[in-house]
Structure 1
Amino acid sequence: MTVHSEQWPAGTPNWVDLSVDDLPAAKAFYTELFGWEYLSGGEEAGGYLLASLGGKAVAGLGPKQGPGMPTVWTTYLASDNADTTAKEVAAAGGQLIAPPFDVMDSGRMAVVADSVGAAFGIWQAGTHIGAERVNEHGSLCWNELHTRDYAAARSFYSDVFGFSYQDINEEGFIYSTFKRPGDGVEVGGVHHDTDIPDGAPNYWLAWLASDNVDATAAKARELGSTLLVPVMDSPFGRMTIVQGPQGEVFGVIATPQTRAQ
């Protein structure tokens, strides 16, 4: 059991959420796929839902807040001060998409883009720390940036979050894990992804754990998903990449046996 109850250290991917056109359909999909249950934040939360497993929050689902918004899973990085981090994003060549604002007493957040155009969220915990259950079936276990602009991206996150990197390079595969400052724990990755189509943005990919990747992939297809990457073995475990029924993309990977938080 991997339950987290304290504020996540700055720089840690600490939350993911999904904005969709059809919220009831998304709820049904992820309930069938991972067994998620939901708690509503009420009218003042704009229909936003906290998805949970065993009573512990794992992700958020909500309706799109405006026309033309993409259907994507957004990765949030923890911050001790969202306003300061937002200023550092701008100073490092990023952009503010939604400047810092309070989310009731849950926390303070911003949505930004890094210097190579990949969008992500900043989350400063209040009563809501972010993910309370991780590294278990149906919960978040890894987040990675896919970018054509590998060196520039790594420089940006070093400047803003103080990340250092551990290279994991093989023939035709350029990748590094990033380590948060303070304790040096590896908490995410950066992939030099040369397969991103021309004109498509760089992006953050969220990975959800599965105790049986083959069964989860089969269930996802049964529920109307497409496998963008077929189920396969990788150095990090058996995995696949799924495009959900409303177009959102996420990874599914074998539940890690051990993973630092």
Structure 2
Amino acid sequence: MDRHHNINYIEIPTQNIAASKTFFKEVFGWEFIEYGEGYSSFTARGIDGGFFASEQCVSTATGSPLLVLYSEDLENTQAIVEQAGGTVIKAIFSFPGGRRFHFTDTAGNEYAVWSE
């Protein structure tokens, strides 16, 4: 695949890198590489990226892009998100092409999960 001009990497603000890493490891199985106290990266998740220390949060209410993850079992993923301390902010709903829900992680960042 040609990488020229493709989205290559995403950096996500978090008020607590350790909590974000724990949440995403527990819910989605992500692994991390440390780059000092203020940065931790992830790879092989559809797009590579990292968490950086910040007081800001990602939220569609403030105009942030929405990061959307995929699940083969939407209800199970929602249950795991809640068990890990995430908060469902939009319950599962249908949209053209599938269904999804929105949640905030333990740092307050908004994400969505979708399925066919």
Q: Which residue of 1 aligns with 2:92?
A: 231
2:50 to 48, 55, 60: 60
Q: Count matched residues.
A: 116
| Residue deviations 1:203-234 (CA, integer Å, cap 9, x gap) | 32111112221111111111111111111232
**Paired residues of 2:40 and 2:51 also in contact (CA < 8 A):** yes
**Paired residues of 1:31 and 1:37 also in contact (CA < 8 A):** yes
**TM-fit CA distance, 1:71:** 2.0
**TM-fit CA distance, 1:13:** 4.0
TM-score normalised to structure 2 length: 0.81
1:23 to 1, 17, 27: 17
| Residue deviations 1:96-116 (CA, integer Å, cap 9, x gap) | xxxxxxxxxxxxxxxxxxxxx
| Residue deviations 1:30-74 (CA, integer Å, cap 9, x gap) | 001110001123x4xx632211248x863311222xxxx31227x
Q: Which amino acid aligns with 1:254?
A: S
Q: Which amino acid aligns with 1:48?
A: Y
CA distance in 2 between partners of 1:59 and 1:212 (Å): 24
CA distance in 1 between partners of 2:85 and 2:8 (Å): 28
**Paired residues of 2:17 and 2:40 also in contact (CA < 8 A):** no
Q: Which residue of 1 aligns with 2:78?
A: 217
Matching of residues 239-258 of structure 1 within 5 Å: 239-254=100-115
Matching of residues 47-126 of structure 1 within 5 Å: 47-53=38-44, 58-64=48-54, 69-72=55-58
CA distance in 2 between partners of 1:254 and 1:28 (Å): 24
Identity, in percent, stands at 22
CA distance in 2 between partners of 1:8 and 1:211 (Å): 30
| Residue deviations 1:80-139 (CA, integer Å, cap 9, x gap) | xxxxxxxxxxxxxxxxxxxxxxxxxxxxxxxxxxxxxxxxxxxxxxxxxxxxxxxxxxxx
Which structure carries more relative contact order (alpha carbon 8 Å, separation 6+)? 2
Whichever of the two has the greater Rg, that structure is 1
**TM-fit CA distance, 1:8:** 4.2
Counterpart of 2:96 in 1: which secondary structure?
A: coil
Q: Which amino acid aligns with 2:103?
A: V
Counterpart of 1:217 in 2: which secondary structure?
A: helix
TM-score normalised to structure 1 length: 0.39
Residues 1:218 and 1:63: Cα distance change in structure 2 (over 3 Å): same
Counterpart of 2:21 in 1: which secondary structure?
A: helix
CA distance in 1 between partners of 2:47 and 2:3 (Å): 13
CA distance in 1 between partners of 2:99 and 2:10 (Å): 22
| Structure 1 segments of 4+ aligned residues over 6 angstroms from their partners | none
| Residue deviations 1:3-51 (CA, integer Å, cap 9, x gap) | x6x5342xx544322222221111010001110001123x4xx632211
Alignment RMSD: 2.5
